[in-house]
Structure 1
Amino acid sequence: MPFNIPGALVPFHLLINPRLIMPQMIQDIRQLDFPELRRAGYRGAVFDKDNCLTRPHRDTLVPDLEDAWDECRRIFGPQNVLVVSNSAGSQLDAGEIQAESVSHHLSAPVLRHPSFKPSYSCISSIRAYFASLSQPVHDEELIVVGDRIFTDTVLANRMAHHEHVFRPAPAPSETIERDQMSSIDGLSKGLDAFTHSSATTPLSSARVRVGPIAILTTAVWERDSPVLRRLEMQLMKGVERWVVGEGQGPAQDWTDVRYGSFFRELAMPEVLRREKPGLVKRLRRRWQGD
């Protein structure tokens, strides 16, 4: 497999903006409340393939995800759900044969892109696809779902940006619900508050994240690259602890936006796949009598 240069360069980008690797985390796509996302103004979705929708190197949907996948396509519309993979539809897919197979089995379009995720070239291809629809879908109307931080999460966060909005400063006894700013309408609500406030009302500035929701699935349907996965998770925890944890007030980071209303509790969490523990962990458990 060719070396993923855009992915390898991500650590250098993190020196400038470490928050690029901060996602919203779920077990798998069954936790996504697609009707609630649609009501909030999200109209499209980008999905990774391997270990998110399918087992690695396979083109068929994981059977446990069929109901959630059908609901997603029904709520957003078949053409508004796009599969973006670093295998199917990429430069590795000679003749686009795998892309055609994945599109057939998942009943969804597969993006053809010349550069691996999370490159800006791939982002341009995603934008071009959604702009070509009869009813174009903008970045802030998308969710991006995948199982890898250095590719899927970084790609989603590179598509996003912050915008400043002004609103009346809250009274000491008031609390501002952060969820109010989590939907696409949050920006317009902030501007409306500015317009209708009196000239004597003190204003406060807030940074609102505008762009796709970066969603990381943690359920692994078939174990692959465990060392890299562990490295990604440890790096994310480090950023969350040492960088994100220091943010305070209106200038907080990307993850200051809360999307809890868009996630469901799984009815049967015991059926989730888990990574098989490594040799060292199994030996330690045996030694401890677990």
Structure 2
Amino acid sequence: MSWGMLGQNFNVAGVTIFMSTLAGRRYLAIPHISVQDINQVDWKALREAGFKGCVFDKDNTLTLPYAAAVHAPVLRSLEECKAAFPERVVMLSNSAGLEQFDPDGSKAEALEKQLNIPVLRHKSKKPGGGPEALEAFFECEARQLIMIGDRYFTDVVYGNRNGMLTIRPAPFTTEGESTVIKTVRMFEDHKIRRWTGRGIQAPVHNMLPNSEALGIDWTKDE
């Protein structure tokens, strides 16, 4: 198993946040927007609502698990996102670009060439860590950024903890994922269904009311 795969399977930095989410901060795991995949996202509407940039997870959000190319069915949507947010799209990975597993940035550089997306250099695995590296990269506040990722307890919790708008696409496939990740997914799905069934909602985002008042829809029909 590679360091990157191990790092995604075992996230020491996120244990405390994970436990606090289970214990009482369950709203952090609820995304503002849920979609089947990013083809449903209206990137232009999000830009017009005032958002300044997009932060993507990699596996099962843009690529198949551990693949090095954008999954073909979402390639057009990614290009639409890059057109709506020119030079303001970045990937936040729990392996490439992470100081612990990629100290010289070589994995990040290779991924940037393969996907044609900048990979953020950072020190903490999601859901841990603050927004400082992202705010420096985008030169704006984290609340003006959009976090897009398929994992409730990593991508969504990280985004919500730091005041971002969170979009959760369903994973493309579990084929190729480790047994640990598959088990965690089942646990996450069970908890989210239970919590949303009890009426738990995503944290309030202060840019949402303005967008709704303007009649902006977040998603589009394909």
- How does the TM-score come out when normalised to structure 1? 0.64
**Residues 34, 72 of structure 1: 8 Å contact kept:** yes
1:253-288, Cα deviation, whole Å (9 max, x unpaired): 53895878111223xxxxxxxxxxxxxxxxxxxxxx
**Matches of residues 148-227 of structure 1 in structure 2 within 5 Å?**
148-160=151-163, 212-223=164-175, 224=177, 225-227=181-183
Larger Rg belongs to: 1
RMSD, matched Cα: 2.3
SS of the residue aligned with 2:90?
Answer: strand
1:17 corresponds in structure 2 to 25
CA contact (8 A) 1:21 1:236 kept: yes
Of 9, 15, 20, 1:8 maps to 15
* 1:50 correspondence with 2:55: no
Change over 3 Å in CA distance of 1:232–1:63 after alignment to 2: same
> Once the two structures are superposed, what CA deviation does each residue of 1:101-155 show, in whole Å capped at 9, x if it has no partner?
211122221011122111124x322222222xxxxx3222211000101110001
Judged with a 3 Å threshold, the aligned counterparts in structure 2 of structure 1 residues 45 and 82 are, in CA distance, closer, same or farther, namely: same
> How far apart, CA to CA, are the structure 1 residues paired with 2:203 and 2:44?
27
Please tell me whether the aligned partners of residues 174 and 182 of structure 2 are also in contact (alpha carbons under 8 angstroms): no
- The residue that corresponds to 1:73 in the other structure is 82
Q: CA 1:124–1:82 in 2, change beyond 3 Å: closer, same or farther? A: same
Runs of 4+ off more than 6 Å: none
Structure 2 unpaired stretches of 5+: 1-5
- 1:231 and 1:43 map into 2 onto residues whose CA distance is 33
- From 143, 148, 154, the equivalent of 1:145 is 148
CA contact (8 A) 1:118 1:155 kept: yes
Letter in 2 for 1:155: Y
Deviation readout 1:214-258 (Å, 9 max, x if unpaired): 11111324532222111101111222223527xxxxxx9538958
